[in-house]
């Protein structure tokens, strides 16, 4: 990890977002450790995929980064400022730097607002009072997204558009404030297969044209390869592996990543005779996570007395590759806080 990186956009140091569970409204029961000590870095214009199964804390991490959830502990540093310790006004400013593309395009658009209103809202909220300026910005973004003629769309309501068009509007909304980072939370999982590639291409194109950083959240490894340079694998509220996509696909380090890769279906007729190896057990409860490595109850390479006792630190296993697994305890350990 470079100590002086001018290109650095976002960095987290031991970021934690815990949700308190209460009984009868006041008795403390415990915490859901949705985000539990995460160290990541993101450069400007970089595209990273965040992969993990349902309930592993992907969305909570995304919302913490977007400022919707307050981090419980740790630092969230965006362009050199610690966001976690900021006042409301600069928080809003920070939120406008991140665009959000959601999973369900129909649900993401308020059904009672016209497209024009939907696209204007972020600008109204962020204090752009001049209507002509707002409209000009909308026209620019819509043209960039090839939604022409623009006027035809502006008067419509979300339900009058197709799924692909709706998702384009969601993308347009995330772009009207000229953000530096796009958080794409499974942007294509609810779309028709025929539209998926189109939308992914679009996001990719915008990313390279605008030099946007994109965090692409998915549980579908097959689109990751297509989309991003780096990948973060999340399991049980922690990042278990960070790696360039190519290297990871070739040679996964963490046992969980291996299991994940093995589960990818390839359209091959021979597969009908082979069974996929799936790690036994279930994803850990984030309310009461297992001691030591979160994955150890399901891991076939478990080291007794170590994996089930101590939380593995991050080990550097290759060029820009980090994994949190005791199997690599001979490799160099990454410093806890590296700035």
Partner 1 sequence: MLDRLKKRLKQVKQYPSVIFGITLITILIITAIVAVIVIPYEEAVLLWRGGAVWAESPRNARPTYVDWFTSEDLPRTEIIDGRDHPDKKTMESMNGVKEFEFVLPLDYQYDGFPREFNLFFEAEYEETRPHVSVKIRTPDGREFATDDFSVQRDSIRRLGQLTELRRQVDGRAPRIGIFMDPDYEDPVPLKGEYEIVVSGYLFEEDADINVRAVSYGQVHGFGGTDHRRRDLGVALLWGTPVALMFGVLAAVGANISTFIISAVGVWYRGLVDAAIQRISEVNMIIPNLPLLILVGMFYSRSLWVMLGVIIVKGVFSPAIKTYRAMFLQVRESPFIEAAESYGTSDKRIIFFYMLPKIIPTLIPQFVTVIPTYVFLEASLAVLGLGDPVLPTWGKLLNDALGEGALYMGHFYWVLQPAFLLILTGLGFAMTGFALDRVLNPRLRRQ
Q: Which is nearer to partner 1, 121 or 247 (CB)?
A: 121
Binder of partner 1 out of 14, 157, 249, 308 (CB under 8 A): 157
Q: How far is the CB of 91 from partner 1 (least distance, A)?
A: 7
Q: What is the DSSP string of 158-216?
A: GGGS-HHHHHHHHHHHHHTT--SEEEEESTTTTS-HHHHHHHHHHHHHHHHHHT-EEEE
Asked if 57 and 228 count as a contact pair (C-beta separation under 8 A), the reply is no
Which pair of structure tokens corresponds to residue 75?
């630092």
Which pair of structure tokens corresponds to residue 272?
């009908």
Q: How far is the CB of 118 from partner 1 (least distance, A)?
A: 9
131 is a site residue for partner 1 (CB under 8 A):
no
If phi over 0 gives left and psi between -120 and 50 gives alpha, with beta otherwise, what is residue 57? left
Question: Which residues are CB-contacts of 116 (< 8 A; sequence separation ≥ 6)?
Answer: 135, 138, 154, 155
Binder of partner 1 out of 91, 135, 249, 306 (CB under 8 A): 91
25 is a site residue for partner 1 (CB under 8 A):
yes
Q: Which is nearer to partner 1, 2 or 29 (CB)?
A: 29
103 is a site residue for partner 1 (CB under 8 A):
yes
Binder of partner 1 out of 14, 53, 104, 308 (CB under 8 A): 104
Q: Diameter of the chain by CA atoms?
A: 66
Q: How far is the CB of 95 from partner 1 (least distance, A)?
A: 4
Which pair of structure tokens corresponds to residue 49?
């995929």
Question: Residue 46: phi, psi to the nearest 5?
Answer: -95, 150
281 is a site residue for partner 1 (CB under 8 A):
no
Q: How far is the CB of 291 from partner 1 (least distance, A)?
A: 32
125 is a site residue for partner 1 (CB under 8 A):
yes
Given CA atoms 250, 254, 259, 261 in this order, what sign does their dihedral have?
A: negative
Question: Residue 47: phi, psi to the nearest 5?
Answer: -115, 120
Q: How far is the CB of 272 from partner 1 (least distance, A)?
A: 38
**Which residues within the stretch 176-235 sit at the binding site for partner 1 (CB under 8 A)?**
177, 183
Half-sphere exposure of 71 (CA within 13 A, CB side): 26
Q: Which is nearer to partner 1, 42 or 317 (CB)?
A: 42
Q: How far is the CB of 109 from partner 1 (least distance, A)?
A: 6
Binder of partner 1 out of 31, 44, 92, 210 (CB under 8 A): 92
Q: How far apart are CA 80 and CA 275, in angstroms?
A: 49
107 is a site residue for partner 1 (CB under 8 A):
yes
**Which residues within the stretch 33-72 sit at the binding site for partner 1 (CB under 8 A)?**
63, 66-68
Binder of partner 1 out of 7, 126, 148, 285 (CB under 8 A): 126
19 is a site residue for partner 1 (CB under 8 A):
no
Which pair of structure tokens corresponds to residue 201?
């291409």
81 is a site residue for partner 1 (CB under 8 A):
no
Of the ranges 73-81, 105-113, 267-275, 312-320, which one interacts with partner 1 (CB under 8 A)? 105-113
Number of residues counted as binding partner 1 (CB under 8 A): 33
Q: How far apart are CA 74 and CA 66, in angstroms?
A: 15
Question: Which residues are CB-contacts of 254 (< 8 A; sequence separation ≥ 6)?
Answer: 233, 240, 241, 295, 323, 324, 325
Distances (CA, A) of 99 to 33, 111, 150, 312, 320: 25, 20, 21, 33, 27
317 is a site residue for partner 1 (CB under 8 A):
no
The residues of the shown chain that bind partner 1, judged by CB under 8 A, are: 25, 63, 66-68, 91-93, 95-96, 98, 100, 102-104, 107-114, 117, 121-122, 125-126, 157, 170, 173, 177, 183
């Amino acid at each position: 990890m470079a100590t002086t990186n001018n290109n650095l956009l976002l960095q987290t140091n031991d970021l934690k977002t815990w949700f308190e569970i209460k009984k009868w409204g006041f008795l403390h029961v415990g915490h859901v450790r949705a985000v539990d000590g995460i160290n990541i870095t993101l450069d400007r214009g970089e595209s990273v995929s965040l992969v993990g199964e349902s309930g592993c804390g992907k969305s909570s991490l995304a919302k913490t980064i977007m400022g919707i959830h307050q981090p419980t502990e740790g630092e969230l540093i965006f362009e050199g400022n610690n966001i976690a310790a900021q006042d409301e006004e600069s928080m809003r400013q920070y939120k406008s730097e991140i665009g959000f593309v959601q999973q369900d395009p129909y649900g993401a658009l308020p059904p009672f607002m016209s497209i024009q209103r939907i696209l204007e809202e972020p600008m109204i909220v962020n204090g752009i009072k001049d209507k002509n300026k707002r409209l000009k910005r909308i026209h620019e973004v819509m043209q960039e997204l090839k939604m022409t003629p623009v006027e035809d769309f502006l008067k419509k309501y979300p339900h009058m558009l197709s799924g692909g068009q709706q998702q384009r509007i969601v993308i347009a909304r995330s772009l009207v404030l000229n953000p530096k980072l796009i958080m794409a939370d499974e942007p294509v999982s609810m779309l028709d297969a025929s539209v998926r590639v189109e939308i992914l291409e679009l996001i990719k194109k915008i990313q390279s044209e605008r030099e946007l950083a994109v965090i692409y959240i998915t549980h579908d490894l097959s689109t990751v390869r297509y989309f991003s340079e780096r990948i973060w694998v999340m399991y049980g509220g922690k990042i278990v592996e960070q790696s360039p996509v190519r290297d990871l696909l070739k040679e996964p380090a963490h046992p969980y990543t291996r299991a994940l890769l093995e589960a990818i279906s390839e359209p091959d007729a021979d597969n009908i005779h082979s069974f996929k190896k799936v790690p036994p057990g279930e994803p850990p409860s984030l309310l009461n996570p297992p001691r030591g490595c979160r994955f150890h109850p399901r891991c076939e390479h478990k080291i007794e007395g170590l994996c089930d006792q101590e939380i593995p630190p991050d080990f550097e296993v290759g060029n820009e590759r980090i994994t949190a697994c005791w199997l690599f305890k001979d490799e160099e350990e990454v410093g806890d806080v590296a700035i």
